[in-house]
Amino acid sequence: MPTDIIMPQMGESIVEGTITKWLKKPGDKVQRDEPLFEISTDKVDAEIPAPASGVLQEIKVSEGTTVGVNTVVGTIAVDGESAAKPAKAAPAPPQPQASTAQAPAPPREEKKAASAPPPMAATGAPTAPPAEEEARSSPLVRKIAREHGISLSQISGTGLGGRITKQDIMGFIEGQGSAASAAAPAAVSAPAAQAPAASAPARPATPAASAPARPATPAAAAYPGDLVPMTQMRKLIAKHMIESRRTSAHVHCMYEVDFTRIVNLRNKHKAGFEQRHGVRLTFMPFFVRAAIIAIQQWPIVNANIEGENIRYHRDINVGIAVALDWGLIVPVLKNAGDLNFLGLQRGITDLGERARSKKLKPEEVEGSTFTVTNPGQFGAVFGLPIINQPNSAIMGVGGIMKMPLVVTDKDGNDSIAIRSVVHLTLGYDHRLIDGAVADQFMAMVRKNLEQWSEDVG
């Protein structure tokens, strides 16, 4: 008997989800727990694993559709049933048409390949990207690549971890020369003209014809001048940012920090740290640890307003903002105040990796009491971040740059030296946190960083 694929409930407060992408098409073999489709909810974007092994028999809910939890979105046939089902479905279209539709397909492909310019003919061959390309590109990038017959292995990614962004692939397309420019419009218009031919072999399974047709709309609308609907994540970001501005009395203060000591410390220990612990040594745990020590001195920064009361939190749950190709998410490092330096690094790395691979659980993006964001990773000198509700404060980390500073030695003599400098910004809710408290908090964060003494081994 076929196994139903249901829309899972990703959290107690989540009542619906949007299917953003099917990773398999009807007729494809699937393994139990293999990623089957991607969903977007009020909390997270996630990959949903297959509930059983077999063959994807039917897609009942197409991409871009929002349905309630526990809705059946498709079915998986076990191996013994997969052969019988297509046999029943096959008589639906006339058999002669099915065979003739499939027979001319190779000549059409050959004719298309022969008429296409050489660069496109060479790159148009691969249709299924390798696993490593899936890992370093977004669904939108892969759709654009398929439409233009481009292999992602040819493109160097400028995103986080070498991920290929939309700007990367669009720049690659524009740089292909006049021959590629002439071929690009043909590639964009081809799906409309070829839709009947492409869907004819897939008609025995009706959803197979409808599922590929849906993604074409967002892909085609990725070009300048087009009007595209917001993704679920973008809608939520917009809603939360406006709500935060309306809720909190935003004030910002900025501190310049001599970061040379930590830069030198990291350069000295990063190779050995990774060998011993199997995780890269980054700068983020230094900032988080410095903030935790300051929060222990100034707990009001870790509190929030509830009606006309102030909630002082026992735990320090640090939200770490992670930039994604398709938006922004803030996974939460729970009980960060109880972790040592290595625990902070491991936790931050784990949350970042699972955020980018859509493996986070809803409870892992809830319950933050203080947030750290890092606009400096893209070169910003500093940022003025919006508070992540219901927090009362958010610390922004600017870029680490070398610049001349006046330094004073132990004898009180001043000199000018080249130092590594970072600018830290605290956005805080002035309803709860006074300016003097915010400044004292940030002064302690700066002191913790400039006089770092903890072991990072």
Name the β-bridge partners of 320: 372
Give the start-end residues of each E strand in 150-297: 250-258
- For residue 192, give both structure tokens: 């409309």
Query: What is the end-to-end Cα distance of the chain in Å, rounded?
Result: 55
What is residue 122's DSSP assignment? H
- Angle at which helix 284-297 crosses helix 341-356, to 10 degrees, equals 120
Report the phi/psi class of residue 300: left, alpha or beta, with left for phi > 0 and alpha for psi in -120 to 50.
alpha
3-state secondary structure of 387: coil
Based on its alpha-carbon atoms, the radius of gyration of the chain, rounded to whole angstroms, reads 27
Residue whose C-alpha is closest to residue 182's, from 96, 99, 118:
118
Contact criterion met (CB below 8 Å) for 372 and 320: yes
Contacting residues for 122 by C-beta, under 8 A, at least 6 apart: none
The one catalytic residue in 28, 33, 79, 430 is: 430
The one catalytic residue in 33, 315, 434, 439 is: 434
350 given a catalytic annotation: no
Handedness of CA 369, 300, 451, 425 (dihedral sign): positive
Name the β-bridge partners of 323: 328
**CA separation for the pair 352, 285 (Å, rounded):** 13
434 given a catalytic annotation: yes
Residue whose C-alpha is closest to residue 150's, from 179, 121, 175, 177:
121
Alpha-carbon torsion angle 325, 279, 351, 455, nearest 10: -120
Alpha-carbon torsion angle 67, 72, 77, 81, nearest 10: -140
72-77/54-59 β-pairing: antiparallel
Known catalytic residues are 430, 434
